[in-house]
């Protein structure tokens, strides 16, 4: 099968980050801005691990040379109530990385030169300066007057000179459904990044040019083999005692404080990705661990206009109006869709090549060594339900939105979330009115018309 590199890059846009929006202070609430709390779930899509470094113990194993090596043994991170958790900072970093790619923001952790390790050897690397994408352009040249979109929302700290408070805070995610798998596994080798591989990190074998972009890991599917047999050399591994399997759910809260409509819309999109796309969290992303998605519970979330906070109870009653501000998936860069799509594993084996046989060719847009693809594939994203409420009905009618339109049939989803199929010939109206994602009215057993 085709060998696919475990990660790929979202290229930087030449125009650079927009830094023309002023940072509004936190000393008062602003008209037309929003605040409140989002109730969220982190849904696990593949085995996922949150390492508790405080519980680390040591095991001695023997390598192929007969030498004794020490490896770490880890449990799943838990809070003081012994509930498994993912730290809010980890979730925030996961969301911010997507937000940065969607908004073409700065790259606060990019390193264009330094040293990386390979089999105990230090190897120097050097790439071209990333210029206006450097964090320094957000806080040094003009204080906090010229922040990129991500720094505006999530904040930025630079030594003692700049402390810009973020407008998003995320609590720890606690296990609310499912249970951990308790058994010990030796993970496949987890090595440090190798930026000296210029064919992947720089898209050029010769090196010295610009970096490839923002790094994201591919999803391996829910059946990825992430462990090695105990009879194999485990001296470059770690041992885990617990992991969260597919289907586990972790609940957490996201608080936003005085964010603009545009910021709220893009944040919702970066959190709750389109169907067919997923996030990555925890250790072992390169070996298939950590695939997940975020779901926002609209009914238990409360987002209101900031300035309405003290204008009476009725003004602060939660509605779902805020959710209509969620940005359309069309603003997600194609390159980001390629690397976040959940169906990547159908195209080949996602794995590092053997170190001694590392290909000399760069990876293409599909992550294939020596490939010629200039752009990635897009998953077929299902149509989203309409944002507006269902229409008013007569006694014998039923509201449903059109999910799929075929040559001879229409597939509807009712307001009660029941799937119903109707013959296309039973539609009352012009064929161009059959727009998926819009409300329709069903009557009888066959007829349907546009609401």
We report the CATH number of the domain holding residue 414 as 2.40.50
pLDDT value, residue 136: 84
**Tokens matching residue 436:** 């998926």
Question: Residue 125: which residues within 8 A CB-CB, separation 6 or more?
Answer: 113, 114, 115, 116, 195, 196, 198, 201, 207
- Residues 325, 430: one domain? no
- Residues 304, 206: one domain? yes
- What is the three-class DSSP state of 410? strand
Are 352 and 332 in contact by the 8 Å Cβ rule? The answer is no
- Residues 310, 204: one domain? yes
- Residues 75, 138: one domain? yes
User: What are the residues facing 243 on neighbouring strands?
Assistant: 181
- Residues 407, 279: one domain? no
Residue 372: inside a domain, yes or no? no
- Residues 321, 221: one domain? yes
Q: Which domain holds residue 192?
A: 3-357
Q: Which of 326, 357, 388 is at the close of a domain?
A: 357
Furthest-apart CA atoms within the chain: distance in Å:
80
pLDDT value, residue 316: 43
Q: Which of 294, 329, 357 is at the close of a domain?
A: 357
Residue 175: inside a domain, yes or no? yes
Residue 383: inside a domain, yes or no? no
pLDDT value, residue 336: 96
pLDDT value, residue 354: 78
pLDDT value, residue 315: 45
End-to-end Cα separation, the chain, in angstroms: 49
Are 242 and 187 in contact by the 8 Å Cβ rule? The answer is no
Residue 380: inside a domain, yes or no? no
Residue 259: inside a domain, yes or no? yes
Residue 396, H or E segment: none
Q: Tens place of pLDDT for every residue, the chain, 451 residues? A: 788 999 999 999 988 999 888 777 666 677 789 999 999 999 999 999 999 999 899 988 887 777 888 889 999 999 999 999 999 999 999 999 999 999 999 998 888 898 888 777 888 999 999 999 998 888 765 556 788 999 999 988 877 667 788 899 999 999 999 999 999 999 998 878 888 888 889 877 777 789 999 999 999 987 788 988 877 777 778 999 999 999 999 999 999 998 999 999 999 999 999 878 999 999 999 999 999 999 999 989 999 987 666 555 554 444 578 999 999 888 999 999 999 999 898 888 999 887 666 777 789 999 998 888 998 887 776 677 787 888 888 888 899 999 888 777 888 988 888 888 888 888 888 777 888 888 999 987 778 888 8
Residue 289: inside a domain, yes or no? yes
- Residues 330, 417: one domain? no
Residue 385: inside a domain, yes or no? no
Residue count (the chain): 451
Domain count, the chain: 2
Sign of CA dihedral 152, 193, 341, 172: negative
Calculate ∠ Cα 397-403-407, nearest 5°. 100
User: What are the residues facing 447 on neighbouring strands?
Assistant: 443
Give whole-number Cα distances, 316 to 133, 252, 310, 311, 407, in Å.
Answer: 39, 22, 8, 8, 47
Give whole-number Cα distances, 218 to 271, 346, 363, in Å.
Answer: 18, 12, 13
Are 358 and 12 in contact by the 8 Å Cβ rule? The answer is no
- Residues 437, 307: one domain? no
pLDDT value, residue 27: 63
**Tokens matching residue 161:** 């000179």
- Residues 263, 412: one domain? no
Residue 310: inside a domain, yes or no? yes
């Amino acid at each position: 099968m085709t060998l696919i590199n475990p990660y790929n890059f979202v290229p930087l846009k030449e125009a650079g980050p927009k830094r023309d929006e002023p940072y509004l202070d936190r000393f008062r609430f602003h008209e037309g801005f929003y605040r409140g709390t989002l109730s969220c779930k982190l849904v696990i899509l593949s085995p996922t691990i949150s390492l508790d470094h405080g519980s680390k113990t040591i095991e001695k194993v023997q390598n192929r040379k007969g030498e004794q090596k020490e490896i770490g043994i880890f449990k799943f991170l838990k809070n003081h109530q012994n509930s498994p958790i993912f730290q809010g900072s980890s979730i925030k970093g996961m969301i911010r990385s997507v937000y940065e790619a969607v908004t073409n923001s700065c790259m606060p952790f990019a390193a264009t030169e330094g040293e990386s390790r390979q089999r105990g050897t230090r190897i120097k690397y050097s790439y071209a300066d990333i210029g206006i994408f450097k964090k320094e352009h957000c806080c040094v040249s003009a204080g906090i007057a010229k922040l990129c979109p991500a720094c505006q929302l999530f904040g930025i700290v630079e030594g003692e000179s700049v402390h810009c408070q973020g407008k998003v805070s995320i609590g720890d995610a606690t296990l609310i459904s499912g249970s951990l798998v308790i058994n010990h596994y030796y993970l496949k080798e987890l090595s440090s990044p190798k930026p000296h591989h210029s064919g992947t990190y720089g898209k050029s074998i010769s090196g010295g040019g610009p970096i490839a972009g923002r790094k994201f890991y591919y999803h391996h599917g829910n059946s990825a083999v992430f462990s090695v047999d105990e009879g194999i050399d485990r001296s470059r591994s770690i041992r885990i005692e617990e992991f969260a399997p597919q289907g586990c759910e972790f609940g957490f809260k996201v608080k936003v404080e005085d964010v603009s409509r545009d910021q709220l819309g893009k944040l919702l999109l970066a959190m709750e990705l389109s169907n067919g796309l997923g996030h990555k969290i925890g250790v072992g992303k390169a070996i298939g661990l950590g695939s997940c998605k975020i779901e926002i519970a609209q009914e238990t979330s409360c987002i209101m206009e900031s300035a309405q906070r003290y204008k009476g109870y009725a003004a602060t009653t939660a509605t779902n109006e805020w959710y209509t501000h969620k940005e359309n998936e069309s603003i997600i860069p194609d390159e980001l869709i390629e690397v976040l799509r959940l169906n990547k594993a159908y195209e080949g084996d996602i794995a590092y090549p053997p170190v001694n046989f590392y290909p000399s060719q760069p990876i293409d847009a599909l992550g294939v060594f020596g490939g010629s693809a200039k752009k990635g594939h897009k998953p077929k994203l299902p149509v989203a339900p309409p944002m507006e409420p269902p229409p008013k009905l007569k006694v014998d009618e039923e509201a449903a939105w059109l999910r799929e339109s075929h040559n001879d049939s229409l597939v509807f989803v009712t307001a009660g979330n029941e799937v119903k199929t109707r013959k296309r010939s039973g539609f009352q109206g012009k064929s161009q009115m059959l727009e998926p994602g819009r409300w329709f009215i069903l009557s009888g057993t066959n007829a349907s018309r546009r609401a």
